[in-house]
Amino acid sequence: MTANSRCSAAEPPGLETQRREIESLLRECELRAGDSWYVVEHRWFEQWKEFVDGGDQNSSSFPGQIDNSDLFEDLDSYHLKERLVENEDFVLVPAEAWHKLLAWYGMVDSQPPLERKVVDLPSTLKVEVYPVEVFLCLHSNMENVITAQFSRTDNIQSIQRAMCQSFSVPSGSECRLWMKSSDTNCERLRNIHMSVLDTCLSSGMTVIMETRNADGTWPSSRPQIMRNSVEDQDSYRGQPGVCGLTNLGNTCFMNSALQCLSNTPPLTEYFLQSSYLEELNFTNPLGMKGEIAEAYADVIKQMWSGRHYSVVPRVFKTKVGHFASQFLGYQQHDSQELLSFLLDGLHEDLNRVKNKEYIELRDADGRPDQEVAEEAWRNHRRRNDSVIVDTFHGLFKSTLVCPECHKVSVTFDPFCYLSIPLPVSKERVMEVFFVSLDPHAKPVQHRVVVPKAGKVSDLCLALSEMTAVPPTQMVVADVFNHRFYRIYSDDESLSCILDRDDIFVYELSVLEEQDQVLLALYLRERSHYRDYGSGSSSYGTTLFGHPLLLNVRRSSCSQEELYNLFLQRLARYVRPPDPSEELEEEEEEDDEEELYRTQTNGISDGIVCSCSPNHQNVSLDQLSGLSSHLARCVSSDEQQEAADELRPSQTELSCSETADANVDLEPAAEPSESTEEEKEENKQEEACSPSPPPNEQPAKRRACHKRRKSLFTIQAVNSNGTTERGTGEGGSAVSFSSQPYVAIDWDPDMKKRFYNENEAEKYVKHSSMEVPQQQATVQLQECIELFTTVETLEEENPWYCPVCKKHQLATKKLDLWSLPEVLIIHLKRFSYTKFTREKLDSIVEFPLRDLDFSGCLLRKSLSNGEPPSCYDLIAVSNHYGGLRDGHYTSYAMNKDNGQWYYFDDSKVTFATEDQIVTNAAYVLFYHRQDKMRKPTLANPSTGPAPSRSANDITSCKDDDAELGAASYVTMETD
């Protein structure tokens, strides 16, 4: 650094003084919300430390002016690089230390100081190195967008001032701001004194400013812009609670859970009566400062106002993601997981206990169950007292027995919902096609029962019992797009085979093991004409029909022997030529003399073949192909005439081209092994590239001889049937170095004459297919009994025995002791083990009325004043689809009119009771009969419920359902 740069700053104190002052500030300064800290480039700061530690004012380690150049992406925008690491790329210094360093050393010209605020996040204080970067624009001109950065501690008013200055908004104009987080939805930033953090404004969002019109209206209130506004819905009066929820993008899981809770009468009435306002707990460290409760209250009040067809729960979604990072973004999640979080969050936000006392839990130690249960419930209420506990919490008894010392431990634990298992079948039904060795037999479709954890050999064994074919003579393959996607070995697991796969089982002939080879046979159809434009004279080919697997002798793999074998194997749908049919072709012998040498600029005039509908041009460079083409296309008397007429001008030929049966197989590069991902891609989209046949010789004169023409030609190919490969050992048509694949190539005319497509596609159904496949059905009572059976703890979750003084795999039994007013039952449809993952689609028969738990309760007799145990169904959360995808909806009964409705995001329709019990039922809500109130309104007559398509409210895309896109910005009502 030059002397001039050094003199630009004030004269600093001595080096020891500098070191002492800065180190003291770094050591003693604590983080306080709202304080400013500064980012300093790490290398500069380390050099300064070396300078002051040396104690030499004239040292060469003098750091010079503060220079943060290495922290910026470029020196035009001064945008901070992403993913900078503290104490590696930069250091943070408090404001007082920064100002001292700046006064002593100055800063490189034009560089902005990197001031950052300390923000108070939900669980920690931290310096906000990366502030929120948002886009700003005016409602009147949304094309003009600027980027600005704000601290999460800045309030909305500071954003409004910055926007007025940036867009030259006239002084005194009345403004309001909207936060836009998707293409179609906005929400109002009502409180300008709230911080950026509290409003959940995050990087990538857009803030829109609008100014009041001269007529006193707001631009966003116009119907074409604000379709969900008060003005637009003033005329609508609907049944309270019969209200859709807009899908914000994969948020059907949240909408389903909210609809079920919305139709839980005691909880909804608690919020509609604003009872929550008196019980909001802002100090509970386990809570969310009342924000989840307030956001939920806003949704419920909108849904039960009777003024909305559908509500946009964006604020609620943002709050949930803010306090539960697993729900951030717009990925699909589980409605039961959302329910669990929400019930816990509402409980802590509404907990009437402000200071939780520590209570040591006691074991039963032989005391009576009633005494231990009352003590456990009393202790629970001393720490947990809310509307959620009042409504949803029950008590079960947990009994653990040590397998070694037989110590019995009894505790009573509260629960908010019951997660009950479904009986898991150990068997699986598979549908497969059996291809017999008899060439005249059609494939037979079978339905077999196999062990769910079985192997491919088990499938063959089950099929053997139906076909009387030994399983050792079977091979199983997955067929996709006319090719073998996978050929299975006997010891592979059946879990590799999905229900949607097309599985073929082929019967094989019995040969000596050392002399046999399993040959995979594809059928291909060649295009009429060669693809000369690709730089080669290759024919394009397309796979068709069903591939075959054959056991052949290694010594019988010549072209002629395979031709006869294939012809025999395809006898059912390939007609052999009639002796009277003329199937002769010309066999050519090359002459050394070239037919033509004359070319103009290396390009000859074309020759037109009249058999082509496009009269495809062929250059004289490809006369080698044409000479054979002529030989095959015209009679011997016509050959000389056609040859004499070949000139640089165009000549028309009539032909019906067929292939040479004795084509030599040219070596080709072996394709690299495909990865599983590539195989999956190949299975998802067919990619049939042309197969290049052998390269033809340069154009020469040929002598012609007559010979018998073949129906098809044989070509060694790769596993996809697209790339040709070299010949095998001893001139055989296949290579034995790996799984051999061959293709028989059909000329289109020959295929049309001798290949019967209708017959080739035929199959028959075995009697096993006629038996209707019964869907597994279980009773809810069976699942509850399974929940209360004795089980052994897993190795990952052992129990510490206080007697043995070590962890043990104890036996555990759960029993129901007391039940809540509203009982939530979660059906554990998603089964996860060490080896398998699956969704259980069993139909669980659950009653809509009179679900009686008296036989399940451990307490057989109820004392005076204790509630009965009979329940009626009030709501169901449904899940359609599989493990990785799916769609959530819900059924719910309106508390005011007793009518059932079906809620599918923003669409709501009437439902009947016979529609509710399906294999999609996932979470059940039951209300205890003694607490249920009679409907205050008459049940509406059947017919379409008040509903609109999603485009009338807002639009979004769900994981299963895709709704129409809207071209306007929807803003939430004031």
Residues acting as catalytic residues? 252, 887
CA 68 to CA 40: how far, in whole Å? 6
- Helix runs in 357-469, H state only: 369-383, 387-392, 456-467
Q: What residue type is assigned to position 527 of the chain?
A: S
The first and second tokens of residue 869, run together, are 């145990």
CA 550 to CA 558: how far, in whole Å? 15
**Judging by beta carbons within 10 Å of its beta carbon (0-12, 13-18, 19+), is residue 601 exposed, middle or buried?**
exposed
| Alpha carbon 706 to its chain's center | 62
CA 790 to CA 583: how far, in whole Å? 78
CA 928 to CA 824: how far, in whole Å? 11
β-sheet bridge partners, residue 278: none
Three-state secondary structure call for residue 165: helix
Please count the other Cβ atoms lying within 10 Å of the Cβ belonging to residue 795: 8
**C-alpha separations of 897 from 242, 299, 309, 939 in Å:** 11, 21, 18, 5
| Angle, alpha carbons 873-959-133 (nearest 5°) | 115
Rounded to the nearest 10°, the torsion over CA 713, 719, 721, 727 is -30
The first and second tokens of residue 792, run together, are 């052994």
DSSP assignments along 575-638, one per residue: PPPPTTS--EEEEEEEEEEES----BTTBPPPEEETTSTT--EE-GGGHHHHHHHHHHHS-HHH
Rounded to the nearest 10°, the torsion over CA 203, 205, 208, 209 is -20
**Judging by beta carbons within 10 Å of its beta carbon (0-12, 13-18, 19+), is residue 792 exposed, middle or buried?**
exposed
How does DSSP classify residue 136? Answer: E
| Angle, alpha carbons 808-810-813 (nearest 5°) | 155
Name the strand (E) or helix (H) holding 243: none
Confirm if 38 and 116 have CB atoms less than 8 A apart: yes
CA 955 to CA 969: how far, in whole Å? 10
Pairing of strands 185-188, 970-971: parallel
Name the strand (E) or helix (H) holding 437: none
Three-state secondary structure call for residue 548: strand
CA 558 to CA 551: how far, in whole Å? 15
**Judging by beta carbons within 10 Å of its beta carbon (0-12, 13-18, 19+), is residue 729 exposed, middle or buried?**
exposed
The residues, ordered by sequence, that sit 6+ positions from 865 with a Cβ below 8 Å of its Cβ are none
In residues, how long is the chain?
974
CA 159 to CA 206: how far, in whole Å? 12
Confirm if 865 and 799 have CB atoms less than 8 A apart: no
- What counts of helices (H) and strands (E) characterise the chain? 22, 45
CA 879 to CA 169: how far, in whole Å? 50
Strand ordering across the sheet containing 539-553: 539-553, 516-530, 741-746, 712-717
Buried b (16+ CB within 10 A) or exposed e, 810-822: bbbebbbbbbbbb
